[in-house]
Structure formats: C-alpha cells, structure tokens
Structure 1
Amino acid sequence: MSHKATNWAVEQRGLKPATKVVLWHLADRHNREFGCFPSQALLAHDCEMSRASLNNHLKLLEERGLIRRIQSRNSRTFKQENTRYLLAFEDGFTPQKHDDDKRDAGPLPCPETGHGNDAEPVSKNDEKPCPKNDDSRVQNLDTNPVREPVTQPGNAQARGERDFEARSSKKVEKLFWKLVKDWPQLHGMPKQRARSVFEQLSAEEQDQAIAKREVWLKLLKSQGKDHVPAPTTYLSQKLWKDIPADFDLAGEQAAQRVAAPFGKMWGAIRFADLMREPYGPAPRFTSAEERMVADGIYQPAELMRQKLVSCGWPRVNTLHERAIRKKHGTTEDPALAPLADLFGQVGKGSELWSAWKGLHAERGWPWFGEDRDCPDWVWLPDSPCEADTYDSASDAVRAAMARFENQHASISERQAAE
C-alpha cells in the first residue's frame, strides 16, 4: 500500500462514487517500488462489483487520464499476464489516447432519438435541439411515451429475440439449479451471487457451462486438485473454456503423464518457472512492517525481497506444497524434456545441497521447505563435469545453473520462433 497513492486518489474530484471506489482500490494496491498490477478477479472482489462493471469504470478512469493500462503476455506460454496499471501521479505518466474521446470527436446525436448534436454540455440549450424533444436535448425519462412491445414479430430475428426473453424469464432459474445441484463443497453456502453471474451469461454460454461441468470436474481430479472453485468463480471466469481439446468425456487426457515430486521433470518444470521475473501479486507491507521500516528496523528493499520469496512465483510454491503435504506431482511438459535430462540426484544435507540452498537465497527464490520434510534424494541441475573437479560445491552449482539457463534460453527462443 502507498499512502501517497491513496491520498492522491481521495483528492480526485468529479468522479462517480463507484468509479472513485475503483480508483481508490487501485491506489491501495499500488507499491512504490513494483507498481500496481492486481488481477481483475482480486480488484473486482475488493470493489464488490462484477468484472463487467469493473471494466466500465476502468475505461472511464483511463478516458479521464487518471490511469493507463498496459497489457503483456508471458514470453514462453503467450498467456496474458496481470494488467499493469499506471497512475497519473507516477513519474513519466502519459495518458492513453483514445480515438473515441469525446473531446476530439465531432457532434454526437441525442441519446434518445439519434437526432441533434451533443457537442456542448447538456445543461446548455442554446445549440440546435433534438427535433423530437423540442427545446431540450436531454432525454426526459419521466415524460417519454410508453412503447408497447411488438406482439407479432415480423421476421425470424425478432422471433429469436422473443424466444430468448421467454427463456430468460422462465428457464434461467431452472437451469441455474441444474448447474449447482450436487456441486462439491457447496452445501449450505449462499448462491445468490453465482445466480446473478449466471443470468448475465448468454444462452449459449449457459448451455456450455452446464454441459461441460462434469468434464471440468474430472479435469480437476486428474490434475490432483482437491479444492473445487465455487460456482461464482466457475461462471465469472468461464472456466469450462480451460478444458483442453484432447480431454475426452471419460475424463482422460490423451498422452497425459504426471511428473513425480522432486523428480527430473518436476525439477525442470520448477526451475523453468523460476527463470521468469516475479509474477505473483505485489506483496504489501502490513501496518506493523511499515512501522518497523519507519523505525529503521528493516530496509524496505530487503523486506520486500523476503516477501517476494513467498509470493513471487505462485506455481513454484504450489509445487512445493503439493509435493510435501500431499505427495502429489504435476502434469509433465514434453517441451521441457531436454531440460530434465540435465538433472542429477543430490543428497539431502550434503555440501551440494547446502550450496543449492545458498544459491536460492542469493537469487531470492523459494526453497523446498524444511529439510525434514524433503526426501533423502532430490533431482537438481547437474554440473557439466564431476562435482569434485570444481574448487567448491558452490562453483559446481553455479556451473550447473549456467548450463540449465543456456538450454532453457534455447528452448524459449525456439518456441517463440514457432
């Protein structure tokens, strides 16, 4: 949290209350060293609104020149990463230019009929008025005539819209309860929020959510996941779309293999993730930590470095937890097979083990956990030559890491070219 950011957000005037709530929470998530990049799910939860509403307010803030959104994709997986939000008070901030900015656009029509223009503020009635609203260009919701619905649609499109409206009013509730019936770990939990999200989906998406529910649950089981996301998360993030194309109705994924915990492939997946810059949610200082920094007990950079160990690489921390607490591995990645061939066994408590632990601390990487929880032998990158030919175990570890990094860079370049 940055007090400078939140104070700046509070000082902004002329915003709608909900829009200002979004701005304040963005500022609350801002870190003066690492910036602001909360996920949309987290930001929507903070603001207590749907992601659709959140995006509307973010657009308004960007049009006002108060924020700028920067999107990026992972260089290896090409998946979209969390959006970076630049706030107007930050050094070097430049507002995003919009082609549809009203300040640069021509006259706009009356919002009700499409006639007249709206180039000046609507409180000024000296411009050419809307022909159907007489002397005012502002639609009058209290006096607009009632428009009777068409009882006999004249074309197939109109009949389709009428059928959809009938479904929305009569079948949505039935379909929703069909979806959440027997949902794992949901007994006794409130469902109103999930129902609201379900109602916002299109008819096609509602059908897909119901039809693919069982396949999605089997996918989670095949991945060794014990926790099942709530219906609200399933619907709002449209998780059924994450089902791989080669995952059949029997719940078996073609050619899927599981990498054993602490093994070669498991280690290759782990180190490949550590090659990335920290990508987890930006850590925030607690009130107590802020006081200790202010009192000079901690240096901000060092404290932030310690916190990044626990949240900088979420996938690695998940691998550790599943391997140690549940003895579960992870799905193999065939593309990383060449990296797995570079691994050798390292005995727990040996000089090499201590050297690897030291390298992790030096680079700010998370370690496996307590030695007592680890197996006697763990697969780690092997050095090009025998370990005893190096001056020290640390030199052998650095040589092993250099070879792994070179091979990983070659694989990444080849994947990018493809």
Structure 2
Amino acid sequence: MSIAIMSQLFKAHLGSTNRKMLAVRLADFADDDGKGIWPTVGRLARETELSERTVQRILSEFVDEGLLIVRRKGGWKPGEGTRYDFNMSALVRLQAAKVATEGCHSDTRDTVTPMTAETGTGDTDDAEGCHGDTQTVIEPPIQPSDLREGAREAEGQESQIETEQSIEKGFWALVKDWPGFAGMPKEPAKRAWFALSADERRDAAERFPRWLQLLKAQKKSHTPAPSTYFGEKLWMDVPAQDEVAKPVNAMAAPFGKLWSAARISELLMAPTGIIAPPTQFQLSLIRQGKTTLDEVRAEQRMRCGWPSVNTMHERARERQGWLCPLALEEVAQGFQQVHRDGEQLVAWRREHQRRGWPFPEGKLPDWSYFPPIEGDGDLDLLVAEAVERFRDQISDYLANRSKGDDHAA
C-alpha cells in the first residue's frame, strides 16, 4: 500500500467520485514507487462496488490519459490481471493542475486561509501542508457503505442525472433511424435499453454509427434488432472513438530511441525473407573446405532474412527515417546511448553476429541507442541479457505481431 500516492490522489482532480475511488483502490496495491498493480477487473469491481464495465472503462481512460502505464497485459492465464504502474509524473501534474485551478480552497479560489475558530486547526494531513504547520483530523464517515456508494454514484454522474423521461428520449433518438425498426416490436428493445446502466447507454449510443459501418464493412446483409444490440451489448465489439483516432505509427529518425527499438523488435521476430540456396561458387568453396554449408546459410539468412531491417539500414545511410510503431515508444525511452568508438558498440556488433542478425554498415553517427545494460561484468553477457530483457518487455507486442497484427495494438 502506498499512503503517499493515496494522499496525492485524494488531492487530485480526477473528474468523478467513481474515478477517484478506483484510483485510490489501485494505489492500495502499489508500492511506494507506484509500481506492481495487478488486481483483476473482477476483484476491483467487487471491492469498489462498481460494474466490471465501469471499471474497464475507467482503467482504459487512465491509460489513455497517461495516469497508468500498462506493463503486461493480463488474460494469458485464467485469473491473471493486467499489470499497471502509476505514472508518477502524471500524478504530479494532476495535483499541480488542481492547485492552479482551485488554489487551496476550491470554494473561494483563495490561496490564503481565513483564520477563524473553525479553520485555525488546518486542513489536511498533507506533508507539504496547505497551511504549513496545522492539521485537522477528519473522522471516517459513519453512514452504511451502501448509502455512501449511492452518494458516490450520484456525484459521479456530474449533474447528468437521468430520469425515466430522459432515458426514453435517448432511446427514441437512437432507434429512430434504425434499419428495419419500423416493422419490429418496440417494447423488447425499450426494456433492454432501460436495463442498461447509464455508462452502457452512453457507450451504446456513441458507438452505434461505427457499429453500422463495421457491419457494412463486413458485408453483413442483416442488421440485428435494437433489443439484440442492447441485450448482447454488441457495441463492445467497436473500438472507442479515441482508440480509433489514435495514431499507431510515427516517423522516427535513424539510430534514435524509437528507431532502434523498432529495429531490434523486428530482429526478435522469425526471419521472413527468402533464403536462396547456395550458388555454384559457394558449393565450390564448400567442397574445397574453405567454408561450410552452415556458414553459407547463416550469411544468407543475415543478408536476406529480415528485409525490413535491411531497408531501415539502407534508408539510414541516406539519413532517412522509418515509420515505427508507437507501441514501442514507452520502452524505447529507456534505451541507452552507445558511442560509435566505445567497447559497448563492439559488444553489440558481436551480439548481432552471434545471433545471425544484420548490423548497420558504414560509418555510424557519434551516438546510437540500444537496450540498456545493467550491472558490471562480462560485457558480452550483459549485452545478451539486455536483449532478453527487451524481449520480455515487448512480449505482448511480439505476440500480437506473430498473430498477424501489423500494428501490435
């Protein structure tokens, strides 16, 4: 449990009580550095009394907003949760944003405490202190948890309280142009709509146009009825708008962090290039004992096995960048500078030779980037360990690539 992170979260603007409650519960799993969070969605839903859909949505929002960093996706084994870390710099920005917009006192926007009998004892248990050397002990609420939860849910709706009339109005606004709905029974669809939560109704309406586009792209001849769409929550098959708009690739300069991460990630994949059989000249050298068949094949594999990497190298010689996946951007930030005349670069060249990987030819820039080595000792061993750590860090990305997902989203 990280008390310091909880304190920061309590002081931060998170947009709703549900978001703050989930963030504080996540902090209960984190260490003092904000790391090591891996409860399942089901457990978070049970312990916060939110729906699993709401928990999933808020977690996704926290990741998109940069508050959480995904370290390893769950689901590979039954009951395995996704591992998150808090982005500590994002926490600091949230707290700073609250102070900048509210001052110490959200009601008055006043950064100076009016000293009265009620305020003389201070505000918080904050180490920095809103008022320096004073504190107030805030007793825990005495209401039953179900009443507190009801209050939190109401506050989380942020003045968007639904009424029966507004829910029905939303229903008719959504189904009025539904293909074929004029000849369908209306009550089953309306009951299914009312059975949804407010968050689910919002998502169902927001994703409906893209759901129709998805059906059209899949050349479906039949549009499911609204009762089916609502009852089976078919909109969940459609990515959220911010996920659709999010770029997946970016042009990266040669030998920079993202470029280097993309290059080594390609080398960690199985070779896809065509390996030609030995030429007559090579067969002649083999017969003369000047080389071996394994050496010839290894040379061909290095030159032809990873065509995209070879193209990256060719473009780099012309100082041209490469379109690299942004999924690698975070791990690439940890890459280490290596000087072209240093021992580390020589060790990295040997590691490429050992693995049969192509290495950039020609004169390299003064500095290029590679996965960071850790510790002291045999440099070749440290470099090999750095490669395997990088492989572990991008295991989800590599798994998605192996399944044919070019963006490894």
Q: Shorter-chain TM-score: what band?
A: 0.3 to 0.5
Q: What's the TM-score once normalised by structure 2's chain length? A: 0.36
